[in-house]
Amino acid sequence: MVQPSSSIVSLSMVFAAGLVGGLWWLGAVETPRLEPLETFLSTLSTEAPAEVHWPRVGEAYPDLELMDLDGQLVRLSQYRGRLLILEPAAICCSGCQAFSGGQEKGGYAGFRPQPGMPSFERLFSRYSAGASLSDPRLTFVQILFYGTSADRSPTLAEARGWAKHFGMDSAPNRVVLIAPPHLLSAQTWAMIPSFQLIDQNFILRADAGNPPRQNLYHELIPLAKTLLQNSN
């Protein structure tokens, strides 16, 4: 993926970009009503938010305020007490499209999934020796930081269409959340695609990022299975 322009780092430009409407193309997927983030933005403080401290492994994960697919504000900490696998994602990311099931379901919004990349569900089952993302002790949280463009957050309509296209709006223990525009930065862009493992005490236990800090297949996924086994 090409690095985004410096406008991503600029809070004012990102907010402006997030409010711009446009034409929406969904191919075979039913076209949802375009719903920009005005409702979400109106609930946020007009003051510049404090800089987010993205943790190292072994540190507490930040309690992010995000928006769910009903347009309601939620705190990430509401999932505390469960094992979390968190995926920072972008609709315009070919790897994210593939990890979400693009090889089986096709790309979303005209984007082509990364060739040859299986879905994360398949990878999790393979490298955890048969464990399932549907395990009730686990929650898979996908945070959409970017929409169909690398200079803005996704609209609510885009996020709903994405979740419907990949079947995440009805899958058990899977959640799609929208990041607010003030979280868009060079740092969050560099996190995509990646997977992070957060334990029941809300501590980051593994981070398979870009560039990889830990191996997704041989470290993060096996550790997730171990933590699930230890939670019995």
CATH code: domain of residue 223:
3.40.30.10
pLDDT tens for each residue of 147-170: 999 999 999 999 999 999 999 998
Query: What's residue 4's pLDDT?
Result: 41
Query: What's residue 5's pLDDT?
Result: 40
- 1 belongs to a structural domain: no
User: CA distances (Å), 118 to each of 40, 162, 166, 200, in order?
Assistant: 33, 17, 13, 27
Better-scored residue on pLDDT, 125 or 22: 125
- Residue 97 predicted with pLDDT over 70: yes
- 14 belongs to a structural domain: yes
Q: How many domains does the chain have?
A: 1
- Residue 187 predicted with pLDDT over 60: yes
- 193 belongs to a structural domain: yes
- Residue 213 predicted with pLDDT over 70: yes
Domain enclosing residue 54, as ranges: 6-230
- 165 belongs to a structural domain: yes
CA atoms in the 13 A half-sphere facing the CB of 99: 20
- 55 belongs to a structural domain: yes
- 15 belongs to a structural domain: yes
Global pTM exceeds 0.85:
no
- Residue 31 predicted with pLDDT over 70: no
Query: What's residue 50's pLDDT?
Result: 53
